[in-house]
Amino acid sequence: MAFGCASFGLILGVGFLVLAALITWLSLKVLAILALDYKDSKPSFYSVSSDLMPKARWVIDAALVINCFGGCICYVQTMGKLMTEGMLAIFDWDTNAWSTDNMTIVIQLGILAFLTPLCMMKEITATKIPNMVGLACIVYIVTMTFFYTPCTALSVDLLKPGDVVKSFAAFPAFIFAYACQQNVFSVSNEIKDVNMKKLNTVSICSTLTGFVIYLPIMILPYMTFGASIKSNYLYNFVEEYKTAGLPIPIIIAFICASLSVSISYVLLMQPVRCSIMSLIFGDNQPTGRKERVIRMGLALVLIALSFALAYVAGEAVDLPVSIAGLLGGNTMCFVMPFLLYLKKYGFDRSNKFTLLVSATLVFCILLYPICLSGIVYKEVTKAAAVATTTTTTP
């Protein structure tokens, strides 16, 4: 989030963080309304879209796979790197004999092996305890950030965006950060005596929790490290304390961040697995032993694939996040829920809520060309800069 703020500038960064939160809340409310209307049939994205937009029902599952699996790749990248930095700070390892890259790969494989049973679980509520651990880790990181980011780089320049076109490429990261819509129907099916009040409470709490966490870890590191902020601001501490060594609270933050990302990986892998099974089997979902074997086998394939793609991508996190956020997150979290709502209840000019949904839908559709242009421009500019550096280096 701090890295994204470096593209927008402080004012627009906070504004877009609020905007993404409001759109997220609206989409969660829309999905909650649909979930209650279909609660007798234990709805899913697939079943609701099959009823309302049968020819486009695959779009939701495909978008969910792009969004969540893109996140899984990024999380594999970061979980290993974060834990490696933490371990290097604790143990005096000779990186010449055992390289940092090799250490990262081993740690990634170890974490993925530990997470595999959780990724195979059928219901999302089975991960309740790991989720609480992940939330505690995030709370610690936020607390640590308050003490180790003195905002020494604050200046007028931080308030303004840098390259305006490049900044468009960063907005999908805000969409990606809030993406949780894939779990609405699962939550509605698993809540006892579900009603609108309970679903509203879940929606508001989840959105506010994200906002309260994202705001300080976005603005405080940015005001401390400025334009030199890295894709994960914790990496800036490695350079800052290169001579003196990382303080123990920051070392713990690296480990907590790795654990939090690992748990988030599980939360994304579950809906990816379900959506792929929806795309393959449609209405004829397997049951019993066959379902269990396919579920576990698919989880293993997805885990292996996410590791392979993370290995190929290296440390390039921003591009996968931007693509996943725009093509996957925007489609699955915003565009399709609003379309399903309008398809179900129609467009009524006298209904303010319907007008709000319609206006937001138009805005989200416009994000495709705007943000995609920013992503392409950013990558082309980056490639040109690399080419220039290569040709001028003797």
Asked if 46 and 61 count as a contact pair (C-beta separation under 8 A), the reply is yes
pLDDT confidence of residue 216: 87
Is it the case that residue 126 has pLDDT exceeding 60? no
Which of 320, 298, 299 shows the shortest CA–CA distance to 311? 320
Q: Which three-class secondary structure string do you get for 200-211?
A: HHHHHHHHHHHH
Residues 6+ apart with CB under 8 A from 6: 162, 222, 226, 227, 229
In a 3-state reduction of DSSP, which class is residue 232? coil
Mind listing the pLDDT tens digit for each residue in 265-294? Answer: 888 888 788 888 888 887 788 888 888 898
The pLDDT of residue 124: 61
Q: What is the pLDDT of residue 144?
A: 92
Tell me the pLDDT band of 303, cut-offs 50, 70 and 90.
Answer: very high
The model carries a pTM of 0.78
The 10s digit of each residue's pLDDT in 336-386 is: 899 999 999 988 888 899 999 999 999 999 989 988 888 888 778 777 776
Q: Is the dihedral of CA 3, 79, 265, 273 positive or negative?
A: positive
Confidence band for 390, pLDDT divided at 50, 70 and 90: low
Please report, for residues 1, 17, 250, the alpha-carbon distance to residue 214 in angstroms, rounded to integers and kept in the order given: 7, 8, 18
Per-residue pLDDT at 127 = 60
Domains of the chain: 2-392 (1.20.1740)
Is 90 exceeded by the pLDDT of residue 194? Answer: no
